[in-house]
Structure 1
Amino acid sequence: MKLILAPMEGVVDFHMRQLLTDIGGFDLCVTEFIRVVDALLPARVFHRYCPELNNQGKTQSGTPVRIQLLGQHANVLAENAQRAVELGSHGVDLNFGCPAKTVNKSKGGAVLLKEPEQIYQIVKAVRDAVPVDDEVSAKVRLGFDDCSQSQEIFDAVCSAGASSIAIHARTKRDGYRPPAYWEKIKPLKTTSDINVVANGEVWNFEHYRLCQQRSGCDDVMLGRGALAKPDLAAEIVSKRNGEHYTALSWQQILHHIIDSSMHCDGGNSERYFASRTKQWLGYLKLQYTDANLFFEEIKRLKSSQEVLDKILQASNKVTTC
């Protein structure tokens, strides 16, 4: 029963993967998508999206990381997939689920759900290019406007030889509006032996259990729920094992944010830490009332050091960025 950290563009980057896997519970992380247009990308691009390649493709806590690719041209995606695994990615993931208009306009992400045959060609080309011991996975939704092509999409991924498929239990039209239709995954799952991962609207342990029951899946992918509750994966693992679990306090969350500031690395980091902390607070306030109050304190601050100083004051911990 694996827990996988979902790829979320502009949110779950190297720093967030490191922080969340340090807290624990995840078996695998998938990177933000790397857009592939018409060329083999240089190694530096893969390293920019996945610095874990410098650590045998794992976070500092030892969690494997898989690079995700997004594009429409099968052969070019296959070349880049081959390079990704050569550089140390733990398999390759293919994005057929991103609902962003800018991505769909360039015929990437969820718009390909309208073309199951193209999905088949992409997955097959990547599977043929990547060594058999390296997993090829795909992230899809139930459909584009509706679920009428769900089975075709699923069959395309399976027949192309993918190792696993993660299904976000909503259509592109649904976006991220609740609910997630976990029950619509089960009929698909019963038609193949492929490993199926359920995704969408898992915010707590009860949702996790309901998702498993309704989807028929053992493996679950966590996205926004893990950002709102950073110890969600750790809690799930603990409760799954019948152990008592004490949730992280707001003070402990602040300490984790401080620890993540230690990894600021020049360049745009002066504004990066400030903007990313504010963004994350937007999720944290769904679980922690203190997060909303704290956001009001820092929302006008621009400097990362100013934001860090405020966090230090709130946590009574002394450090520097």
Structure 2
Amino acid sequence: MEGVADHSMRALLTEHGHFDLCISEFVRVSNTLLPERVFKRYLPELDHGCQTPSGCPVHVQLLGSDPQLMGENAQRVVEMGAPGIDINFGCPAKMVNRHGGGAQLLQEPELVARIVSAVRRAVPDPIPVSAKMRLGYEDTCLALDNACAIESAGASALTVHARTKVQGYRPPAHWEWLARIKEVVSLPLVANGDIWSYDDYLRCAQVSGCEHFMLGRGALRNPLLSRQIQQRNPGLGREQEWQQIRPLLLDFYKVTCASYPERYLCQRIKQWLSFLAPGYEPAQELFNQIKPLHSSQQILPLLEAA
């Protein structure tokens, strides 16, 4: 989630949730071997064992279409300390797809396989190389081909966002497709898409047959969701959840304040509140108050009061 799941958000979510690992925002590989400073801009965790302050490992997500360059950049960031590489075949953004990256690649399973294979060859065997895909670009006709291509090229795990690029984020997520993919691949399959609540997780597990799950927007709407899933505990209801979540807003302000200049700080707070608002009425009310403000000094008293 470019521009959303940065290191400050990763730090907060992993401190208060139960995650086995994080995947970074994608690092775009276009026409060069990226310098170390670029990787560290996306992953300050590289200076701290490539893990969040609470100890959750962070794998580096690469996005690109040139197999050789993808391999070379994977090798470089692993030498810097990255514990794993994830390859993006799922981004639906028009700009990314226009330049031959993300979900656009799902129209060419052979190229998908070449990219995974190049990355796998470029890094030591103990380093996991995973991939994330959608069900396809315009339709699902190549979904199984792409999954098989990723497995045959040596990937250690596959995450599937259960929609096509054209479907974007429109509900529903088609979890039944994961069950079909599980029939043709044997590598660990990770379900993703529309897991907003504990009940969604239960239904996704039943429909997909998956044992592993990736949370994206669902973790932003409910930072306690990963803990609820790990503990097999649906929680105590929206009001009680909000009582536990609202102090995190001030925590997020503090960690973000240390990482971003003033001109970006307000936007980061508003951005997270926009994810929280659909799930919690008090979050919507707070978002309405903060939305027209442009100074962190105006926002801080409202966060403290909340």
Interval containing the TM-score (normalised by the shorter chain): over 0.9
Q: 2:90 aligns with which of 93, 97, 109?
A: 97
Give per-residue Cα distances to partners, 1:272-321, cap 9 Å, x unaligned.
2210111111110121100111111111111122212211122xxxxxxx
Report the 3-state secondary structure (helix = DSSP H, G, I; strand = E; otherwise coil) of the residue aligned with 1:66. strand
Contact 1:238 1:245 in 2 (8 A): no
Contact 2:58 2:82 in 1 (8 A): yes
Contact 2:147 2:185 in 1 (8 A): no
Aligned: 1:277 with 2:264 = no
Report the 3-state secondary structure (helix = DSSP H, G, I; strand = E; otherwise coil) of the residue aligned with 2:205. helix
Aligned: 1:250 with 2:222 = no
Aligned: 1:120 with 2:113 = yes
Aligned partner letter, 1:225? G
| Distance change >3 Å, CA 227–CA 264, structure 1 → 2 | closer
Supply the RMSD in Å over aligned alpha carbons: 1.5
Once residues 252 and 191 of structure 1 are traced to their aligned partners in structure 2, the CA distance between those partners, rounded to angstroms, is 42
Once residues 234 and 88 of structure 2 are traced to their aligned partners in structure 1, the CA distance between those partners, rounded to angstroms, is 37
Give per-residue Cα distances to partners, 1:212-245, cap 9 Å, x unaligned.
1211210001111111111110111122xxx584
Q: More deviation in 99-108 or 186-195?
A: 186-195
Q: Which residue of 1 aligns with 2:286?
A: 294
Q: In the TM superposition, what are the counterparts of 1:113-262 in structure 2 within 5 Å?
A: 113-239=106-232, 245-246=235-236, 249-262=241-254
Aligned partner letter, 2:129? V
Q: More deviation in 15-24 or 297-306?
A: 297-306
Q: 2:69 aligns with which of 76, 83, 86?
A: 76
Aligned: 1:111 with 2:107 = no
| TM-score, structure 1 as length reference | 0.91
Give per-residue Cα distances to partners, 1:141-165, cap 9 Å, x unaligned.
0111111011110111011000011
For these two proteins, the number of residue pairs brought into alignment is: 304
Aligned: 1:50 with 2:43 = yes
Q: Which residue of 2 aligns with 1:319?
A: none
Q: Which residue of 1 aligns with 2:23?
A: 30
| Distance change >3 Å, CA 11–CA 262, structure 1 → 2 | same
Once residues 16 and 268 of structure 1 are traced to their aligned partners in structure 2, the CA distance between those partners, rounded to angstroms, is 12
Gaps of 5+ in 2: none
Aligned partner letter, 1:32? E
| Distance change >3 Å, CA 266–CA 20, structure 1 → 2 | closer
| Distance change >3 Å, CA 55–CA 223, structure 1 → 2 | same
Shift of 1:267: 7.5
Once residues 308 and 249 of structure 1 are traced to their aligned partners in structure 2, the CA distance between those partners, rounded to angstroms, is 22
Once residues 206 and 249 of structure 1 are traced to their aligned partners in structure 2, the CA distance between those partners, rounded to angstroms, is 15
Once residues 42 and 244 of structure 1 are traced to their aligned partners in structure 2, the CA distance between those partners, rounded to angstroms, is 44
Give per-residue Cα distances to partners, 1:35-67, cap 9 Å, x unaligned.
011111111111111111111111111111011
Once residues 177 and 259 of structure 2 are traced to their aligned partners in structure 1, the CA distance between those partners, rounded to angstroms, is 45
| TM-score, structure 2 as length reference | 0.95
